[in-house]
């Protein structure tokens, strides 16, 4: 599996091209989500108007942005899109759209400006997983890392990893590295010299689950956080479980059904 890198200053100024940079919750109950995640991760709230009847919620830690939430629009709900966490990768939105289409991806949202904050594109890879690319302007994504409540790992669970792996290697220049232990088929995603995520081997996933990306968030105590998820109306889907020399983790869902993962590094 993976070993999170937690040493270093938690405050950062931005992200390298190809790094995971922003994490956005589309939800059916924005106020409920704000209460849930504030209690779970200690996030504070900063709301920005998006129009007459909507706000964009930025979650912060130590006064620095770490994630966001918005209410799913009726047209998205009508298409059957459920509450979910969206992962963004730093990059050039227009170049990413052109490259993704050339590699067989489907555009969900063509390149578009988001005020003066940045430019984005959302696509579905050839195996069905959805991902976004963010081109920073005034908004540089999450600006805090390595402390409880921050993103620490991006994980791809694909129905066809044999198609997904070469797609993402060509898309972002990522390198996929196998674990060092015999029989370890988990692939580690390397962006340059930085390990940023992984790919679940087929034998460790339910073949009936659609391809998707999972966002992991760092916690001090996985069991306590998982219990808090349940107490607040969420659900523990898998775990908590320990992987030797890796850490302790759990897959959970918030009260609206958005899935994410909790990760506690080894002592």
Chain-centroid distance, C-alpha 17: 16
At residue 47's C-alpha, the angle toward residues 42 and 52, to 5°, is 150
In this structure, is the dihedral angle defined by the CA atoms of residues 254, 44, 263 and 156, taken in order, positive or negative? positive
Q: With H, G, I as helix, E, B as strand and everything else as coil, classify residue 173.
A: coil
Would you call 67 helix, strand, or coil by DSSP? strand
User: H/E element holding 162?
Assistant: helix 161-172
Kindly tell me the burial class for residue 125, based on how many C-beta atoms sit within 10 Å of its own C-beta (0-12, 13-18, 19 or more): buried
Strands (E), the chain: 20-27, 44-51, 54-61, 64-71, 84-90, 106-114, 118-124, 130-136, 151-157, 175-178, 187-191, 194-199, 212-218, 235-243, 247-253, 259-264
Maximum distance among all Cα pairs of the chain, rounded to whole angstroms: 57
**Nearest-angstrom CA–CA distance, 149 and 221:** 11
54-61 and 64-71 strand pairing: antiparallel
In 9-119, which ranges are continuous DSSP H helix?
30-41, 74-78, 93-102
Residue 199 contacts residue 189 (beta carbons within 8 Å): yes
Asked whether the beta carbons of 247 and 264 are under 8 A apart, the reply is: yes
Write out pLDDT tens, residues 7-55: 446 999 999 999 999 999 999 999 999 999 999 999 999 999 987 889 9
Domains and CATH numbers, the chain: 7-267 (3.10.180.10)
Total length of the chain = 267
Judged on CB neighbours under 10 Å (0-12, 13-18, 19+), 28 is: middle
pLDDT block averages, 10 residues each, the chain of length 267: 47 96 97 98 95 92 97 88 96 98 95 95 97 97 97 97 97 91 83 96 91 98 98 96 91 98 94
Residue entry with tokens 């578009």: 112
User: How far apart are the C-alpha atoms of 80 and 40, rounded to whole Å?
Assistant: 27
| pLDDT at residue 181, rounded to an integer | 66
Start-to-end CA distance of the chain, whole Å, equals 17
For residue 248, which of 225, 215, 214 has the smallest C-alpha distance? 225
Grouping H, G, I as helix, E, B as strand and the rest as coil, residue 179 is coil
What is residue 253's predicted lDDT score, i.e. its pLDDT?
98
Helix 30-41 to helix 222-231 angle (10° resolution) is 150
């Amino acid at each position: 599996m993976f070993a999170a890198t937690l040493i270093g200053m938690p405050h950062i100024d931005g992200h390298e091209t190809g790094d995971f940079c922003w994490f956005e919750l589309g939800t059916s109950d924005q106020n409920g989500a704000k209460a849930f995640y504030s209690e779970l991760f200690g996030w504070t709230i900063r709301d920005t108007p998006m129009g007459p009847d909507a706000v964009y919620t930025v979650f912060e830690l130590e006064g620095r942005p770490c994630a966001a939430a918005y209410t799913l629009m009726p047209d998205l709900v009508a298409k059957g899109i459920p509450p979910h966490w969206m992962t963004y990768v730093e990059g050039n939105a227009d170049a990413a759209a052109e490259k993704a289409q050339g590699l067989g991806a489907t555009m969900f949202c063509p390149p578009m400006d988001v005020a003066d904050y940045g430019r984005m594109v959302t696509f579905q890879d050839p195996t069905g997983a959805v991902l976004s690319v963010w081109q920073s302007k005034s908004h540089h994504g999450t600006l805090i890392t390595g402390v409880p409540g921050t993103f620490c790992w991006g994980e791809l669970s694909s129905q066809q990893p044999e198609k997904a792996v070469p797609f993402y290697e060509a898309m972002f220049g990522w390198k996929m590295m196998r674990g060092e232990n015999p029989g370890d088929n988990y692939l580690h995603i390397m962006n340059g010299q930085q390990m940023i995520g992984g790919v679940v081997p087929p034998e460790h996933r339910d073949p009936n689950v659609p391809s998707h990306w999972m966002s992991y968030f760092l916690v001090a105590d996985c069991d306590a956080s998982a219990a808090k998820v349940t107490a607040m109306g969420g659900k523990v889907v898998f775990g908590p479980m320990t992987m030797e020399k890796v850490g302790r983790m759990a897959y959970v869902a918030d009260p609206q059904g958005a899935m994410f993962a909790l990760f506690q590094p080894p002592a």
